[in-house]
Amino acid sequence: MKHTILRLATLLTCVALSACLPDRSSDGGGDGDGNNGGGGVECDAGQIFNPVLGRCIDDASGGNNTSGANNTAGNNTTGGNNTSGENNTSGGNNTSGGDNNTTGPGENNIPDPNACGYGSLKGRACAPSGEVLGAATVTVTGVDCNEGGAPFTLTVQTLGDGSYDLTDVPSGLHEVTVSTGGSFSRTFPAQIFDGQDTDLTSQAAKFCIENDVDIAVIAGSYDDVEGVLDELGLEYDMKGGDGGLNQDTRPYNEAIDFLTDLSAMSNYDIIFINCGELWGQLNSRDAGKVTAVIGNLRQFIDQGKSVYASDWAHMFIERPMPDAIDFLGNDLSLADARDGFAPQVIQGSVENPALRTVLGVDTVAIDFPHDPPVIYNNNWTMVEGASASATVHIRGDADRCAQGSLLSGACPSVEGSLPGSPLLVSFRDPNTGGAVAYTSFHNHADESVPVSEEIEKILKFLIFQL
């Protein structure tokens, strides 16, 4: 079933750019049929010059009379219409000779798109929902008129509020790409003018990441990554799950049918596998299908695609990609790595500079609440280390369960700790581009127990890295 919370139509228009939109008046001294740019650009009647597209567009503002006389609400002109060749407005903008050339403060000349020089580009990166994207990459490519038409590329990372500001951009019509380090991106044109700021930060002018990444989600009893996807406005298809705590076999069968069908999996770019009982159920119910599931996940990743798994779903990463992340204990054992004590709060060190940009802090509280039957976190899956090619985003000292507690199905007390345990790890294959990501923490299946604002930001950041 296809889900979405919000799909925003993105606009390739420039809204309210006072530094580059024309004075929408014409006077008795002009041609009376359009807006004269003074810089070589003229628009037909009822149109204005758009600096992003570099051409004239229909003027949807209404209320501006361009028939040869200038009626401006709130400006009193002698005799109603001044036909002496000048349009006198009380704001002190005297336009003469039919050129939209204002004198004094508030000069609004239409820039000449053919003028060679340098300008700037400002904007704000956003998810399909409109939520800002910090630490995204903005790249401008084009040709530099100042260097005889030589190709150029300029790159900048967005700040925590999603904003970016590129200066000394060669004038001309260029291509702008906003990307997040994974499958998500958006490309659009932008016209840069000599000596002008092209500002796209206004609400109507946001150029949000496109919702064109195909996502599959397998449900789990203890996680709800789809709730995070919903908030970002990302669409996805549900592909069964572990059946919940009531052990419903229908979602289980759907999930395993999907994971044993590589052609069905290949229709997607990312597969999310929620923390739950699915791996244990697979081994107890369909042990003969384990090899097929492992092989398909590995081939899926080798296609340059991504898999995310949280906590008790860790074997869906461990088995197909055994060298990417080093889970605690015997890699073939489901139980060995499940040694994390709960409840506990770990003060995690934010190792990834990009994530620090998003959070605005160097340390973050990672909470493992445990309050059955509302929320379960005991015996969460622990990580010892990761390959040199992996990225450890957050690590911290984690308390372990008392020895033997997992065998009794409980974790009543602490015994020892795992110093510097990676809590969020991702790995991208340098040859295929395929990626895996794992979190010990996750969203909660019970919506009555929301995660912290910081953890929500972390999960959203991670999604866009896939």
CATH assignment of the domain containing 174: 2.60.40.10
Residue 39's identity, in one-letter code, is: G
CATH assignment of the domain containing 454: 3.40.50.880
Question: Are residue 174 and residue 220 in the same domain, yes or no?
Answer: no
What CA–CA distance (Å, rounded) separates 422 from 392?
A: 6
**CA of residue 349 relative to chain centroid, distance:** 23
Instruction: Quickly state the pLDDT bin for 245 (edges 50, 70, 90).
Output: low
Report the first-to-last Cα separation within the chain, whole angstroms: 22
Residue 281 lies in a domain: yes
Contact 134, 160 (CB under 8 A): yes
In the predicted model, what is the mean pLDDT of the chain?
81
453: helix, strand or coil = helix
Question: Are residue 186 and residue 40 in the same domain, yes or no?
Answer: no
Which tokens hold the place of 373? 């039957």
Instruction: Quickly state the pLDDT bin for 3 (edges 50, 70, 90).
Output: very low
What CA–CA distance (Å, rounded) separates 259 from 257?
A: 6
Question: Are residue 424 and residue 281 in the same domain, yes or no?
Answer: yes
Which tokens hold the place of 134? 């910090």
Angle between helices 249-259 and 290-302 (to 10 degrees): 50
Strand-pairing partners, residue 361, are: none
- The number of distinct structural domains making up the chain is 3
Count the helix, strand and coil residues of the chain and give each as a percent rounded to the nearest 5: 15, 30, 50
Q: What is the mean pLDDT of residues 255-283?
A: 97
Question: Is the pLDDT assigned to residue 37 strictly greater than 70?
Answer: no
Domain final position from 155, 185, 205:
205
What CA–CA distance (Å, rounded) separates 334 from 94?
A: 79
Instruction: Tell me what pLDDT residue 53 has.
Output: 53
Instruction: Tell me what pLDDT residue 178 has.
Output: 95
Taking only the tens place, the pLDDT of each residue in 332-368 is 888 899 999 999 999 999 999 999 999 999 999 999 9
What CA–CA distance (Å, rounded) separates 324 from 73?
A: 67
Contact 396, 362 (CB under 8 A): no
Residue 210 lies in a domain: no
Instruction: Quickly state the pLDDT bin for 190 (edges 50, 70, 90).
Output: very high
Instruction: Quickly state the pLDDT bin for 273 (edges 50, 70, 90).
Output: very high
Question: Are residue 231 and residue 330 in the same domain, yes or no?
Answer: yes
Question: Are residue 117 and residue 158 in the same domain, yes or no?
Answer: yes
Question: Are residue 348 and residue 201 in the same domain, yes or no?
Answer: no
Strand-pairing partners, residue 137, are: 157, 179
Question: Are residue 321 and residue 269 in the same domain, yes or no?
Answer: yes
Q: For residue 257, how many C-alpha atoms fall within 13 Å in the half-sphere facing its CB?
A: 9
**CA of residue 50 relative to chain centroid, distance:** 27
Q: Which domain holds residue 83?
A: 21-110
Domain final position from 79, 110, 141:
110
Torsion of CA 231, 232, 237, 243, to 10 degrees: -40
Domain final position from 81, 110, 139:
110
Question: Are residue 334 and residue 431 in the same domain, yes or no?
Answer: yes
The larger pLDDT score, comparing residue 174 to residue 410, is at 174
Instruction: Quickly state the pLDDT bin for 411 (edges 50, 70, 90).
Output: confident
Question: Are residue 127 and residue 247 in the same domain, yes or no?
Answer: no
Q: What is the pTM of this model?
A: 0.76
Residue 382's identity, in one-letter code, is: M
What CA–CA distance (Å, rounded) separates 383 from 360?
A: 25
Residue 232 lies in a domain: yes
Question: Are residue 66 and residue 180 in the same domain, yes or no?
Answer: no
